[in-house]
Amino acid sequence: MTRLRSLLPLGVALALGTSAPAQAQTRHDSNAPIDFAAQHIELQDRANRAILTGNVNIQQANMTLTASRLVVSYTGEIAQGSPQVSRLDATGGVTVRRPDQSARAQYAVYDLDRRIITLIGGVTLNQNGNTVQGGRLSINLDTGRATIDGSGVGGSTRQDGTQREGGRVTGRFSVPQRDSQ
């Protein structure tokens, strides 16, 4: 399994070779309220979940997650009049955006208890002109550490839309323009 550690989101700007210094992302506030918008919501109280469908948009602090469908799992505990959300499962054209970076995949799981977001299937991660593609991306929101690998789960997709073979991580790093002398 190919791994590329400490790559991008939330802690390390991938500014390899650029003249601008790498900018560290601030720690994500996973305790911030979660605002949502969708075309439809179905509450399943006995199952402690809500299903949002149709242009789902989730906002927490400075992070946005969009998808076609989202299952919100919550505990039976109520705090300040609201159920305690423990997990978000997103499917269908998932995008996670933070300042200066974005990641796309087929699926995503945001484990609020562990403060980890995992994107699976055809993952593309972009920041400051740098692009990395793989099968699975895991982002620890506390430490800012991101790991992307070429997991066969969901495969990965080339920029032209064809399926990538072999479970490898690929990408392109931007380099600064240098004077030729």
pLDDT of residue 11: 29
What end-to-end distance do the CA atoms of the chain give, in Å? 41
Token look-up 């995008």 returns 95
Give me the domains of the chain, ranges plus CATH numbers. 3-16+33-172 (2.60.450.10)
**Amino acid of residue 76:** G
Strand partners, 43: 50
Nearest-angstrom CA–CA distance, 18 and 22:
8
Closest by CA to 125, choosing from 167, 85, 96, is: 96
> What is the pTM (predicted TM-score) of this model?
0.73
| Range with lowest mean pLDDT among 50-54, 135-139, 172-176 | 172-176
Nearest-angstrom CA–CA distance, 94 and 88:
12
Q: pLDDT for 118-139, tens place per residue?
A: 999 999 999 888 899 999 999 8
- Tell me how far the alpha carbon of residue 101 is from its chain's centroid: 10
